[in-house]
Amino acid sequence: MKITRTEVFVLGDPPLGEGPTDGSRIDGLAFVRVHTDEGLTGLSEIFCVPPGVARAVLDGPESLFGRLLVGEDPIHPERLWTKLYNSMLHGNRRGWVIICLGAVDVALWDLYGKALARPVWQLLGGVERSNHQITGEAQRRAAVPYCTIVSDAWDRESVLRQQVERVVALRELGYRGFKIEPMRQPREVIVELTRRTREAVGPEVMLAVDVGYLWNDVGEAYATIEEAAQYDLLFFETPFPVDSIDAYARLTAQTAVPIAVGEHTTTRWEFLQLMDQGGVRVAQPYMTTCGGLTEAKRIVDLAQPRGALVCPGNWSTHVLGTATLHLAAYSPITPYYESAPADVYWSPLRKALQAVAPTVDAGAVAWPEAPGIGFELPADLEEEFRVGGEDWAYHEPQD
């Protein structure tokens, strides 16, 4: 089997002005599809990369990576990961190029699974949970997504009211893990939202807090986290900018609450720095951003002997979420993984992709049994949501 073509296309929600919108809106999300001479294809989204960049790196035989992939045998993905990474040793080994490498790596694992007629999690190594480290056999068959909750506006009233309302609505649908996001808020609002959410969901539900790089002040971060800790948090996410390693080190030396980072972290080397120098105890790799399933597997293997958890991130669609599910199946240190449930958000594209993804049953998602990643993009869905390369905006405001 040989790779014959790499293709980038872009999906997005209807244009602004065509109905209500909220923070879930997708203006332009790039996808990569790898074609072979045997008719098999592999698919991945490319979260958080402008479509023009994705095209320059992956679209066609003249692109940065396309020229290196056409004519290659897609088996094994790790061999091709090394080829592409080594091609950048004198160039850019981080940022958008690594995310593009991660996306094509996921697509290659999809191809690999289809070629062997096996789901990817089996090819990663299968379920690796020890009998001594599980509390029930269900943990061998499914993973638990936690729902990321944002509000449409960031005034105090919207944050406190709407985030709790969305948690309650999802809890009624059977979800059993939540991460609230009191971003841009003072300490009082962060603690109050945490209190209200815990009261709303009860003691058995997983709860985490994300403040989105809010502070540079270790003292304020510590004081806020200590107040919120009484409401039983699995972790507290991104108190500082991701490159503030010394600040993370000082905070993690003081608090018992696990600190989580990793949504925009690329390669195992940056995760090693966060864990070894920053004291981070919850690593949050996005399957494409970190460098693909190949690199995510390495991050799990490095985190385990350090006593850290890997709770993969995903504020994107269920295409990336399905790839994440395979890492959760492999990883013995992944009690939860992030999901952006379309049930409480506006985005028509998110809803359409969730409708054809593996389903949540009693708050958990069973391991996919289909070959490859197990997410097939319906042709009519792709056609309905395709947008031109110029019709995109960066995934979050740059102000």
Which CA distances in Å does 176 have to 66, 317, 333, 370? 41, 19, 18, 26
The first and second tokens of residue 2, run together, are: 């040989």
**What pLDDT is stored for residue 149 in this prediction?**
97
Tokens 């244009």, residue located: 15
d(CA 135, CA 124): 23
Q: What is the DSSP string of 16-64?
A: TTSS---TT--S-EEEEEEEETTS-EEEEEETTS-HHHHHHHHSSTTST
Q: What is the CATH number of domain 3-118?
A: 3.30.390.10
**What pLDDT is stored for residue 140 in this prediction?**
79
Cα-Cα end-to-end distance for the chain = 47
How many CB atoms sit inside 10 A of residue 103's CB? 32
Burial class (CB in 10 A: 0-12, 13-18, 19+), 91: exposed
Dihedral sign for Cα atoms in the order 4, 285, 209, 357: positive
pLDDT (tens digit, 0 to 9) for every residue of the chain, 399 residues total? 999 999 999 999 988 666 667 888 898 999 999 999 999 999 999 999 999 999 999 999 999 999 999 999 999 999 999 999 999 888 877 899 999 999 999 999 999 999 999 999 999 998 877 777 677 777 778 999 999 999 999 999 999 999 999 999 999 999 999 999 999 999 999 999 999 999 999 999 999 999 999 999 999 999 999 999 999 999 999 999 999 999 999 999 999 999 999 999 999 999 999 999 999 999 999 999 999 999 999 999 999 999 999 999 999 999 999 999 999 999 999 999 999 999 999 999 999 999 999 999 999 999 999 999 999 999 999 999 999 755 555 555 555
**What pLDDT is stored for residue 12 in this prediction?**
93
Which CA distances in Å does 387 have to 27, 258, 302, 350, 399? 9, 41, 39, 15, 25
Cβ–Cβ under 8 Å, residues 381 and 356: yes
Listed in sequence order, the DSSP H helices in 135-266 are 156-172, 187-201, 218-228, 245-252
d(CA 216, CA 246): 11
How many CB atoms sit inside 10 A of residue 157's CB? 10
**What pLDDT is stored for residue 219 in this prediction?**
98
**What pLDDT is stored for residue 327 in this prediction?**
97
Q: What is the CATH number of domain 123-373?
A: 3.20.20.120
Cα diameter, the chain: 59
**What pLDDT is stored for residue 20 in this prediction?**
65
Domain layout of the chain by residue ranges: 3-118, 123-373
Taking the model in full, what pTM does it have?
Answer: 0.94
**What pLDDT is stored for residue 210 in this prediction?**
98
**What pLDDT is stored for residue 236 in this prediction?**
98
Residue 76, preceding peptide bond in cis (omega within 30° of 0): yes
Q: What is the DSSP string of 78-112?
A: HHHHHHHHHTTTTS--SHHHHHHHHHHHHHHHHHH
In terms of phi and psi (left: phi > 0; alpha: psi -120 to 50; beta: otherwise), the region of 13 is beta
**What pLDDT is stored for residue 399 in this prediction?**
54
Could you give the angle at the alpha carbon of 141 between the alpha carbons of 139 and 144, nearest 5°?
60
Q: Name the β-bridge partners of 339.
A: 147
**What pLDDT is stored for residue 22 in this prediction?**
82
